[in-house]
Structure 1
Amino acid sequence: MGSRLVAMGHYQPSRVLTNDELARMVDTSDEWIRDRVGIASRRIADTETVADMATAAAGKALANSGLTPADIDMLVVATCSSVDRSPNVACRVAAKLGMAAPAAYDLNTACSGFSYALGTVDHALSAGAARNAIVIGAEKLSDFTDWTDRSTCIIFGDGAGAAVVTATTEGEPSGVGPVVWGSVPAKSDAVRIEGWRAYIQQEGQAVFRWATTELAPLALQACERAGVAPEEIAAFVPHQANTRIIDGIVKRLGMPNAIVAKDLVESGNTSAASVPLALSKLVERREVPSGAPVLLFGFGGGLTYAGQVVRCP
């Protein structure tokens, strides 16, 4: 047995924070931000919580799937920005959606979180531990952003993306390929949110060098394990860190036919939400045919990475 994605959904707050607005807050400019990270705007949540945004995205994915809350027996939320230790975000989402008794847990590997969560759910469904699951990436990074630090406040945004995943039937090919995941513990301090009232801190150059030099071979491993040649990939959805990192990885992948997601231009870096948010928009705009192979690859805090090839819902 295996699993497959059957529907996507996403949510972003209504408030848009532009580069020009940021330039009135810190010493920066629209031109400098676009050149440095490729971001034009980002969405910022006001009263909405991580659980609120996760619920909205999951509700849309559920509606698109044709399933009901009663059909879902597993719910996983990838996030690094929930301010509450307990109850976890997953249980709050399950309660808001009216689910009865799903297995519900949060997972924190920061920006690689959605692919990590999808990997664990795929394993559970393949083993028969659940039948239908929702996997969510949701972040409210604005709660942890130092709005006086121009090196970080230009980067991050808020939002959520979700996927409904179901177990495949006997004889049906799996729509979620084997996960390639791992970490670099020696560089764990490169991206940090430490303490009780913390701001995001990162060693930008260290992350950039790691991402542009070491991740492409790992992404290609995900293609190899799924039995899909790079030239067959219809879309590449990496973590939306910045355009320079994305371009550096793409240059080494050899995927001439792939659409490359760059949702960060309008959404900023939304950590664990970035991959499902970008994929959901591609599906919504019908830019990728249903059933086409899509390479997902998340990377970031930890340092951690995870990726897999999925069939587009």
Structure 2
Amino acid sequence: MKWDSLYFAGVGTYLPPPADAGQAVADGLYPPTEFRTTAMLSALQEEKLEAVDMAVASAGQALERAAADPADILLLLHSSLGQWSTGQDVLTPASYIQRRTLGGRAPSMYVNSASNGGMASVELAADWLAVRAPRGQVLITSASRFAPPFDRWRTDTGLIYGDGAASVVLSGTGGFARILATRSDSASELEPIYRAAGGADDDTLDMAARKRDFVGQRGPAEVLETLQATVGRNVRGVLEEADTGMDQVARFVLPNVGRPLIRLHYGVPLRIGLDRTLWSWGRTVGHIGSSDQFAGLAHLVERREVAPGDRVVLLGLGAGFNLTSAVVEIVDLPDWAAAPGSGSTDETE
């Protein structure tokens, strides 16, 4: 869908310190073969806050950066890659976040699209604004914390999971980045990959075993071809909607996964190298569930790794399999962006 007046007015994050992957190998937490294969260096690890409280923190920063009055927010959408908790039981996370950030009587809803929840929320919010309030604002929050029975190092294969939160304010009137187009697709034939991923004797999750079983039954070539075709169709479709060529895209903000997955799932179908992605950053934070794309956008702007006029593709992919992409054009670098070059890295391998 092409959008004429839709913007990211603010973006905020809560990103805790990283836990070193090499140390996790030494401690027997992370299989050494996975460490060597994925080439991921660390994953963010929160020791205190629950996912919803991290979402509250990131939402506060997004609202502040957008100079948004909480009373003017017309809708709140929240997503998370599972409600893994260390004790706090929040049955209605969107309502909890609303009470802590906005108050009022605007609707608040939970978007259950796994790792694609944040990006799916963008398209849902865009449709909602177009129909109900073209000049309104929507707050989108996302957060995950991977506590037992989820093991960030062993539950899955090909990636490690990081804790954190990221939020955005969507506006119909203006912002630091304009959303030119969005698109959602699915590959429902891959849905069983993560279903019934579970339950060993100690009640830990085992997504890796479920994935191996499904790929073994269908064949790796069929699974990979389906995924690559869906990714290619989605991104090329949204670029066409945005009147943007592949060579006009400055950066691709993709799920933070290990090097083989980012190359096979995204690099091959899109014909892009790691240098056009945020791999050098993603390998240090891990897969933050539905927060990867918002946190990645914040990283690009905060580090001034993009400039006004640059176009960026945000792509989310979640178990199910569903994916949503957006073409974003940077309008300006706001005051909260850091000095040029601060903390950036050119590492691509």
Q: Is the 8 A contact 2:39 2:283 kept in 1?
A: yes
Number of aligned residue pairs: give it.
308
What's the offset of the Cα at 1:244?
Answer: 2.1
Match in the other structure for 1:222:
238
Match in the other structure for 1:233:
249
Q: Is the 8 A contact 2:38 2:158 kept in 1?
A: no
What's the offset of the Cα at 1:112?
Answer: 1.4
What's the offset of the Cα at 1:260?
Answer: 1.3
What's the offset of the Cα at 1:234?
Answer: 1.8
For residues 64 and 27 of structure 1, the distance between their equivalents in structure 2, rounded to whole angstroms, comes to: 38
> Structure 1 residue runs of 4+, over 3 Å off?
32-35, 83-87, 146-154, 192-198, 204-214, 254-259
- For residues 235-273 of structure 1, the C-alpha deviation after alignment (integer angstroms, 9 at most, x for no partner) is 211112222232332344256898411232111112211
Within the alignment, does 1:109 sit opposite 2:113 as a pair? yes
For residues 98 and 306 of structure 2, the distance between their equivalents in structure 1, rounded to whole angstroms, comes to: 30
For residues 268 and 30 of structure 2, the distance between their equivalents in structure 1, rounded to whole angstroms, comes to: 32
Matches within 5 A, 1:1-313: 2-14=5-17, 16-26=19-29, 28-29=31-32, 32-83=33-84, 87-129=91-133, 131-146=136-151, 149=154, 152=157, 155-168=160-173, 175-192=178-195, 199=205, 201-202=207-208, 203=211, 210-212=226-228, 214-248=230-264, 249-254=266-271, 259-262=276-279, 263-312=281-330
What's the offset of the Cα at 1:283?
Answer: 1.2
What's the offset of the Cα at 1:188?
Answer: 1.1
2:191 is aligned with what amino acid?
S
Gaps of 5+ in 1: none
What's the offset of the Cα at 1:5?
Answer: 0.7
For residues 194 and 27 of structure 1, the distance between their equivalents in structure 2, rounded to whole angstroms, comes to: 19
Q: Is the 8 A contact 2:59 2:168 kept in 1?
A: yes
1:80 is aligned with what amino acid?
L
**Cα distance, 1:259–1:34 mapped onto 2, change above 3 Å:** same
Partner of 2:178, secondary structure, is coil
Partner of 1:178, secondary structure, is strand
For residues 286 and 82 of structure 1, the distance between their equivalents in structure 2, rounded to whole angstroms, comes to: 33
For residues 61 and 112 of structure 1, the distance between their equivalents in structure 2, rounded to whole angstroms, comes to: 20
For residues 145 and 153 of structure 1, the distance between their equivalents in structure 2, rounded to whole angstroms, comes to: 15
What's the offset of the Cα at 1:141?
Answer: 2.7
Gaps of 5+ in 2: 332-349
Partner of 2:325, secondary structure, is strand
For residues 180 and 258 of structure 1, the distance between their equivalents in structure 2, rounded to whole angstroms, comes to: 24
Partner of 2:28, secondary structure, is coil
Q: Is the 8 A contact 2:30 2:154 kept in 1?
A: no
For residues 30 and 44 of structure 2, the distance between their equivalents in structure 1, rounded to whole angstroms, comes to: 20
Q: Which stretch has the larger CA shift, 124-133 or 41-50?
A: 124-133
What's the offset of the Cα at 1:15?
Answer: 5.5
For residues 193 and 74 of structure 1, the distance between their equivalents in structure 2, rounded to whole angstroms, comes to: 33
For residues 43 and 129 of structure 2, the distance between their equivalents in structure 1, rounded to whole angstroms, comes to: 35
**Cα distance, 1:46–1:152 mapped onto 2, change above 3 Å:** farther
Quote the sequence identity (%).
20
For residues 193 and 101 of structure 1, the distance between their equivalents in structure 2, rounded to whole angstroms, comes to: 37
Q: Is the 8 A contact 1:19 1:33 kept in 2?
A: no
For residues 22 and 158 of structure 2, the distance between their equivalents in structure 1, rounded to whole angstroms, comes to: 10
For residues 243 and 67 of structure 1, the distance between their equivalents in structure 2, rounded to whole angstroms, comes to: 38
Root-mean-square deviation over aligned CA pairs: 3.1
2:178 is aligned with what amino acid?
G
TM-score, length basis structure 2:
0.77
Partner of 2:326, secondary structure, is strand
For residues 302 and 324 of structure 2, the distance between their equivalents in structure 1, rounded to whole angstroms, comes to: 24
Q: Is the 8 A contact 2:18 2:42 kept in 1?
A: no
For residues 62 and 293 of structure 2, the distance between their equivalents in structure 1, rounded to whole angstroms, comes to: 15
Q: Which stretch has the larger CA shift, 115-124 or 243-252?
A: 243-252
For residues 257 and 240 of structure 1, the distance between their equivalents in structure 2, rounded to whole angstroms, comes to: 12
